[in-house]
Structure 1
Amino acid sequence: MYIEKRNVIIAAALVLLVGGFFLFSPKKSIAPEDVATTTDSGKDTQIIDPSTSDVVAPPVTAPKTTTATSKPSAPKPAAPSVPQTGKMYKEFVQPTGFSNTGALGLLNTDAFTLGQFVGKRVILLNFWTTSASNALRAFPYLNAWQIKYKDKGLLIVSIHTPRFTYEHSKSTVDAALYTHNVIHPVVHDNNYGTWNAYGNSVWPHQYLIDINGRVVYDHVGEGGYQAEELKIQELLAARAQKLGLPQESYTPYATPKDAVLVDLSRLKSPETYLGSARNGTLGNGTPYRDGSQDLVYPATFLGNAPYLSKSWSFAKEYARNLVADAGLHYEYDAKIVQAVLNAQQLTRVKVLRDGVPLTTENAGKDIRFEKGDSYFYVSGVRIYEIVNDKAGYGAHALELLIENSGLEVYTITFG
């Protein structure tokens, strides 16, 4: 009896002990950060209000927070870097005008800068002048590249830096652009600001600027077009790689149908200036001297030098005959002969080569024929083509007989 009573007391004590433990144990509090959370999937969880136990929609304007460390998403691979080589490009310096900028969709030409295209396109800069035949012969290639690559990331910009005063006229430049079907933008550089910024010294001169804005290629003079196009393709591939664009495939290099082909290895005569600022090759008379000189042909002539007859006046940019029937003699070795000429009145110039008139087989496009004579008329300043020999290159003696006074001769050029 005693044992049973003791067991009842022990059982009651255990019940009291366990009940007290559950009664007085502390309750877990809900921290504010446990109220609104986001899952790793980014979806909102329901919010439990501890006072009501109702499901509360997350406030629309309340910012989301997370207390859990979510698994970081895999980082996107960085774009492959393009080698940082070459000097940085130079911006246009005090441009004096623009042509063809409508192709860029610019309403205000003052907004046209190279900087707005660096990092977006590969840029080809072409320094030229309307009076340089070799610079004009580059346009068929530039026009072909404009069509072929303008939608692939290439921007072509020609910088017109004039070498003669008459070329400061925008209408003169625009007329040349129209004649040569040029549709890419042109910057007028009458003050030589951009020319000097690039340390330029010749026409034509082309620079390629990569996607990083660095000058990575330049080419002086005409020729080398196939190598230049391959470089363009290389830079466009690097651009596509950096911008994460698909690589393009291009048609092989092809000479444009309207290109004038010049074999530089066979061209032996250089461009020759008549103005006193640059006429160091003058065959007779005193070079580098302004003013008038009375000149007589010598008994023999040296090659690649201009010889003049009768009275001429020398200005910095040109020589002008002061009397009718003055002459110009030049021993050359080339296929094409051209000259930059001007006359205030219509002036007839008779042409002899090796002592006889030209023929349809060797005459330039400005030559006319009448009564056995070959001649051309000069009216206005431009390049006149005198000889274009279908037989090719060779050494010849050219003589111009100027029937009126007042013909201005700037340069004689060859191709």
Structure 2
Amino acid sequence: MPATRVFGRRTFLGSAVMTLAVIGVHTPEFAFEKDLDNVRRAMQHMNIGFPIALDNHYVLWRAFDNHHWPALYLLDAGGRVRYRHFGEGEYERSEKAMQRLLGASGATGDDRGIVSVMATGFELAADWPSLKSPEIYLGHDRSEGFASPGGASLAKRRAYKVPARLDLNRWALDGEWTMESQPTILGSAPGRIVCQFHARDVHLVMGPLHRDGRVRFRVSVDGQPPGPARGVDVDDRGAGTVIEQRLYQLVRQPGLIVDRTFEIEFLDGGVEAFAFTFG
């Protein structure tokens, strides 16, 4: 279902999270996000202690006419939406809205302080002034910007190559891949995905093809290990391992943001890649 990527990325399994009072709603985009075990694992990883409702059939998504991942909704005692915010960030503004709503409901208390939120990792808001790359889907159904010679073939394992030059927000495959409707699958190594981007952060939604699989990879930026520009899921040399189906943060640049070439090389086969998101 089409949606606006407010910050070009996801924070919870690549899904919508709409907070209704103290209840979260998980609306999946990709098939693996409907899996209850995946949702439970993500909740544990993010230390989420409040209930999460699974909206696998988009019932609540449509009821709220929601078009954003993630989205925050505050409701009053009568069930009316009194505040909404789309995307990460604006935590102080959202907390003040909660305090106003509690005050209007008759809640008492003198504490009107604001909790300081030190957003890190996926929760850090995007660098809007520098962000020039939209979300890039890697599956056949929405594979805009694909630049490998010969184009994409649906559900057919074939060899792909990276062209000599990539324009901004164009991407290509190298190796033998099968491009399914949602994911693109590498059956056997080696295989690469190369993308030209302009953003502080690079994330990739991916997972092992088999539940207990482990897929080693390494990333580079402009042909070099990321070093201090590494994301939380790689080391300074760009090495990492795909161990579960989720969003992986691969690059977070500390310096000047310009057009750069990102490359991820998989050293093992058996990986599904769904989408790049940027921040």
Q: TM-score, normalised by structure 1?
A: 0.57
1:181 to 40, 47, 71: 47
Q: Compute the displacement of 1:298 (Å).
A: 1.7
State yes or no: 1:170 paired with 2:48.
no
State yes or no: 1:338 paired with 2:215.
no
Secondary structure of the 2:130 match is coil
Identity %: 28
State yes or no: 1:155 paired with 2:21.
yes
Native 8 Å contact 2:13 2:39 kept in 1: no
The whole-number CA distance in structure 1 between the counterparts of 2:257 and 2:136 is 18
State yes or no: 1:329 paired with 2:197.
no
Secondary structure of the 1:268 match is coil
Q: Residue type of the partner of 2:267?
A: E
State yes or no: 1:130 paired with 2:43.
no
Native 8 Å contact 1:278 1:288 kept in 2: no
Q: Compute the displacement of 1:335 (Å).
A: 2.0
Indicate the structure with greater helix content.
Answer: 1
**Can you list the C-alpha shifts for 1:222-267, whole angstroms capped at 9, x where unaligned?**
2333332222222222111xxxx54644103633365535323322
Q: Compute the displacement of 1:270 (Å).
A: 2.0
The whole-number CA distance in structure 2 between the counterparts of 1:404 and 1:181 is 31
2:141 to 249, 257, 277: 277
Native 8 Å contact 1:205 1:220 kept in 2: yes
Alignment of 1:301-312 (within 5 A): 301-312=166-177
Secondary structure of the 2:85 match is strand
The whole-number CA distance in structure 2 between the counterparts of 1:330 and 1:385 is 15
State yes or no: 1:318 paired with 2:180.
no
Q: Residue type of the partner of 2:133?
A: S
Q: Compute the displacement of 1:354 (Å).
A: 0.6
Native 8 Å contact 2:219 2:263 kept in 1: yes
Moved more, 347-356 or 387-396: 387-396
The whole-number CA distance in structure 1 between the counterparts of 2:254 and 2:11 is 27
The whole-number CA distance in structure 1 between the counterparts of 2:270 and 2:165 is 27
The residue aligned with 1:379 is 243
2:116 to 248, 254, 278: 254
Native 8 Å contact 2:139 2:179 kept in 1: yes
Native 8 Å contact 2:147 2:162 kept in 1: no
Measured at CA, do residues 210 and 393 of structure 1 come closer, stay the same or move farther in structure 2, by a change above 3 Å?
Answer: farther
The whole-number CA distance in structure 1 between the counterparts of 2:241 and 2:38 is 19
The whole-number CA distance in structure 2 between the counterparts of 1:261 and 1:160 is 20
Native 8 Å contact 2:169 2:196 kept in 1: yes
Moved more, 345-354 or 249-258: 249-258
Q: TM-score, normalised by structure 2?
A: 0.82
Native 8 Å contact 1:237 1:248 kept in 2: no
Structure 2, gaps ≥5 residues long = 1-9
Q: Alignment length, in residue pairs?
A: 264
Q: Compute the displacement of 1:410 (Å).
A: 1.0
Q: Residue type of the partner of 1:331?
A: Q
Indicate the structure with greater strand content.
Answer: 2
Measured at CA, do residues 190 and 288 of structure 1 come closer, stay the same or move farther in structure 2, by a change above 3 Å?
Answer: farther
The whole-number CA distance in structure 1 between the counterparts of 2:153 and 2:141 is 6
Q: Residue type of the partner of 2:200?
A: K
The whole-number CA distance in structure 2 between the counterparts of 1:247 and 1:380 is 44
- Structure of higher RCO (CA pairs closer than 8 Å, 6+ residues apart): 2
Q: Compute the displacement of 1:367 (Å).
A: 1.9
Native 8 Å contact 1:277 1:288 kept in 2: no
Native 8 Å contact 2:27 2:55 kept in 1: yes
Native 8 Å contact 1:275 1:319 kept in 2: yes
The residue aligned with 2:231 is 364
Kindly name which structure, 1 or 2, has the bigger radius of gyration based on alpha carbons.
1
RMSD: 2.8
Secondary structure of the 2:61 match is helix
Q: Compute the displacement of 1:278 (Å).
A: 2.0
The whole-number CA distance in structure 2 between the counterparts of 1:410 and 1:252 is 38
